[in-house]
Structure 1
């Protein structure tokens, strides 16, 4: 009787097993958790939002400063720095038009970084855990109607920014719908914060009051929508 060949022994077999272990879904998920924990710890220690708002290099100006700020904004967003603080800093540093452009570009960049990390390191391990009516329905909505779903999430500030990025990464949503919906849907609320930041020195100005009113109305709308969704879910 022919016997199946034994698995290779020695350095070659050990290297193959190590490679499989390193590429396993759960190892990659652990790596993602470690990266996110390290990013959060770095934010707490360094407080980059303070550097962006008050310690921006004075020798930088013009388009180079806007581009560098957008890159720094994206990295800070991926490391869980709250976006409202960064948006206010963008307005204070560059004014409304250029500040909004830098903030939106940074938002898309940070979203892409988070989406890529979640898709590469977390999707394979987490997708088998999507059980239950609510989770499967949310996954189906994001996978089949990615652009429309993400656009609605970005327009209403009730859903945490980072959570939306990683939920979309675990779903089967494509890159293009995710980034396009993020860019379009983030404009209104981002612009409102940037305008508020650019007029922070004049809190009684019409522009500042209008921006704060818009932020308040959208926040209230998000609460109402979440409350109604919760009622429907209970029903």
Structure 2
């Protein structure tokens, strides 16, 4: 055994680096980053875009690209997507607004997924001991694409929460991003159209888009309620009865 005098000179640096890169240190860094992002959102209030509009010095395709990048960062910081979707339609119209919103949606989902996977997965996976948590983790890990597609098509689960839950599971990047992009189009388009037609609330486009938003919200709640039993794990046999056949437990006639 090495005494303190003969200890290798790099051992202290090695222990410090291991402590800084430990799962709980990375999770703490993630928490600090998210708290800082939320604080920045509260200070700068991106929802003011609905009232004040886009800065006039930024226009054209550059404005759409910049809005898409800002959209992605805001969604990673828990800004509600409906506000950003309405702003995209109000600022850029239906076509350009939809492109900016969908690109921003995928970008924000990718940012959240990467942060959760790199900084949070190792610390949080050992905590998945609850029955519902294990079942949700198994569903996302085994049926990632269709599970995430259903979550995006039928709103109800908060966008950022779904991103970080998927990151903690064993779901892969490609099905996650593909399901997010495809599944987010219908609901995003409805909000973008509503934002573009907000000045004409009696127009057919506005009425149809708002009706679609209401219907999908109700449908999502109904589907989640009816299919909730799929997340319930199978009942485990009671202690002392495992491996005993049914006929062996039937009382014999007297």
TM-score range, shorter chain: over 0.9
Look up the match of 1:191. 189
* CA 58–176 in structure 1, closer or farther in 2 if over 3 Å, else same: same
Q: Which runs of 5+ in 2 are unaligned?
A: 236-254
The correspondence of residues 115-154 of structure 1 with structure 2, limited to 5 A, is 115-154=113-152
Q: Hey, which bits of structure 1, 4+ residues long, moved more than 3 A?
A: 4-11, 229-235
Look up the match of 1:164. 162
Counterpart of 1:211 (choices 201, 205, 209) is 209
Contact 2:49 2:87 in 1 (8 A): no
Whose Rg is larger? 2
**What are the Cα deviations for residues 154-205 of structure 1, in whole angstroms up to 9, with x where unaligned?**
0011111011000000011111111000000000000000000000000000
Using the size of structure 2 for normalisation, the TM-score is 0.86
Q: Distance in 2 between matches of 1:170 and 1:197?
A: 34
* CA 53–65 in structure 1, closer or farther in 2 if over 3 Å, else same: farther
Contact 1:151 1:185 in 2 (8 A): yes
Look up the match of 1:202. 200
Contact 2:121 2:169 in 1 (8 A): yes
The correspondence of residues 10-159 of structure 1 with structure 2, limited to 5 A, is 12-51=10-49, 54-159=52-157
Shift of 1:6: 4.9
How many residues of Structure 1 are paired with residues of Structure 2 in the alignment?
Answer: 232
Contact 1:22 1:28 in 2 (8 A): yes
Q: Distance in 2 between matches of 1:67 and 1:142?
A: 31
Shift of 1:228: 2.2
Higher normalized helix content (fraction of residues): 1
CA RMSD of aligned residues (A): 2.0
Q: Distance in 2 between matches of 1:232 and 1:178?
A: 20
Q: Distance in 1 between matches of 2:230 and 2:64?
A: 44
* CA 216–117 in structure 1, closer or farther in 2 if over 3 Å, else same: same
* CA 52–74 in structure 1, closer or farther in 2 if over 3 Å, else same: farther
Contact 1:123 1:169 in 2 (8 A): yes
**What are the Cα deviations for residues 209-234 of structure 1, in whole angstroms up to 9, with x where unaligned?**
00000000001111212322457778
Q: Distance in 1 between matches of 2:73 and 2:47?
A: 11
Look up the match of 1:178. 176
Q: Distance in 1 between matches of 2:50 and 2:173?
A: 29
Q: Distance in 2 between matches of 1:170 and 1:40?
A: 21
